[in-house]
Structure 1
Amino acid sequence: MKHIFNKGQDPTKPTLLLLHGTGGTELDLLPIAGRMDDEANVLSVRGNVLENGMPRFFRRLAEGVFDEEDLIFRTKELNEFLDEAAEKYGFDRNNVIAIGYSNGANIAASLLFHYQNALKGAILHHPMVPRRGIELPDLSGKSVFIAAGTNDPICSPTESSELQSLLDKANAKVEIHWENRGHQLTLEEVEAAGQWYKQFKLKNM
């Protein structure tokens, strides 16, 4: 997978896995990583799927309708890529925090839904429920921050609350932050995620 890896100054810090939204690239979320933790490793990945020339992490059949078979395949592909990248770059595979926006948040949520040890935690900006009707792994010890918009036309408040509930039931510790906005990634929610991340670091030191 096309990606950027920037080695951090502190090997005890998490590796930040950056996952862009539809039409984005591996460059999009780098400023957010720097704001979150400028001493951590950064692994920023570009989605392998193109939709009308726009990079994505998995195919969809329509707006808000995922191609479930492709989602499962691409989630497995990303999880295996993380295994390979950890070996190649020498970071702790068990200390990866995903930061995803929109489509990137959905593939990060899918990692949590399908692989118990894929992520230590995740910051999900405007995610949807990746799959329904499946049993999630036990996510005890995992922490998740969800940023959602009360007026989001793509990811409804009901969808965000349902994702929170599903992760809660799988024993993850979930915090949800609401903005009275739409689907855009706002500075306010990034700052809220930064506060969450500081607390996450303190609890895991």
Structure 2
Amino acid sequence: MDTDDATEDLPLVHVSRPGTVTENAPAVVLIHGRGTNERDLLPIAAQLPEELHVISVRAPQEMGGPNSYTWYDLDLSGGGLHSSQPDPEGFRRSLDLVHEFVESAVEAYDLDPDRVGLLGFSQGAITSLSALLERPESYRWVVALNGYLADSHEGEVDNADGKPVFVGCGAMDQVIPPERAERAAELLAEGGADVRFEQYGVGHGTTPQEISDVVEWLEERY
């Protein structure tokens, strides 16, 4: 997959790969997980429909290791990693940056504002779902892999009414238990979202079948 590091003055460091549609283009914004960077999800991006303009963003907070970033710290007060929640201050900062980035990227890259989707893994999935609930008018669809719906946004699920959401998880995930992803799917469906929920025989990761399912699902929605 060929990529170009963008030079536009946008609020998040990112990598951009234009699709075959060059004007008023449909787009996907990739949001990586904790401890990685904007290049982590590019292998998935390479399998997405070629019409999509792919933009992969980097989280704003360094974690100390090389090329290691996070969208927020973890609030472990509820009982440890398996029941953790986003730290409210960092989560708010990152959500605001994602919203600002997407708004700016639409103009900078000549994207169709009505055809921008989010694809997130782990922290990126959590961030993507909350972003959709905060600004449903800004995002056409969301793919949330190995994540959950933050407690802070459970009361806003009605905002996703009619929105397509793909929720995937690993049946053996020891970082974010699959029950949390399933709960997110249930809540979003109760709010009226058009939800597809799938479990796969993997831990905190993805499988070729999962990505194939995501691509097939996307082809009818972007």
For residue 163 of structure 1, report the CA deviation from its aligned partner.
0.3
Counterpart among 114, 139, 143 of residue 123 in structure 1: 143
Question: Separation in 1 of the partners of 2:38 and 2:156?
Answer: 31
One-letter amino acid of the structure 2 residue matched with residue 112 of structure 1: L
TM-score by length of 1: 0.89
TM-score by length of 2: 0.83
| CA contact 2:25–2:112 (8 Å) conserved in 1 | no
Q: What is the aligned-residue identity percentage?
A: 26
Q: 1:85-100 residue pairs with structure 2 within 5 A?
A: 85-100=105-120
One-letter amino acid of the structure 2 residue matched with residue 109 of structure 1: L
Deviation sequence 1:144-182 (CA, Å, 0-9, x none): 111112221122222112101221122110001111221
| CA contact 1:114–1:137 (8 Å) conserved in 2 | no
Deviation sequence 1:4-28 (CA, Å, 0-9, x none): 2222212465201111112222122
Q: Secondary structure at the match of 1:167?
A: helix
| CA contact 2:160–2:192 (8 Å) conserved in 1 | yes
Task: Look up the match of 1:103.
Answer: 123
Deviation sequence 1:99-145 (CA, Å, 0-9, x none): 11111111111102222223110111101122245333522331011
Task: Look up the match of 2:40.
Answer: 28
Task: Look up the match of 2:54.
Answer: 42
Deviation sequence 1:63-113 (CA, Å, 0-9, x none): 333202321231122101110111111111221111111111111111022
C-alpha RMSD of matched pairs (Å): 1.8
Name structure 1 gaps, 5 residues minimum: none
Task: Look up the match of 2:217.
Answer: 196
Question: How many residues matched?
Answer: 201
Task: Look up the match of 1:164.
Answer: 185
Q: Secondary structure at the match of 1:95?
A: strand
Question: Separation in 1 of the partners of 2:146 and 2:70?
Answer: 15
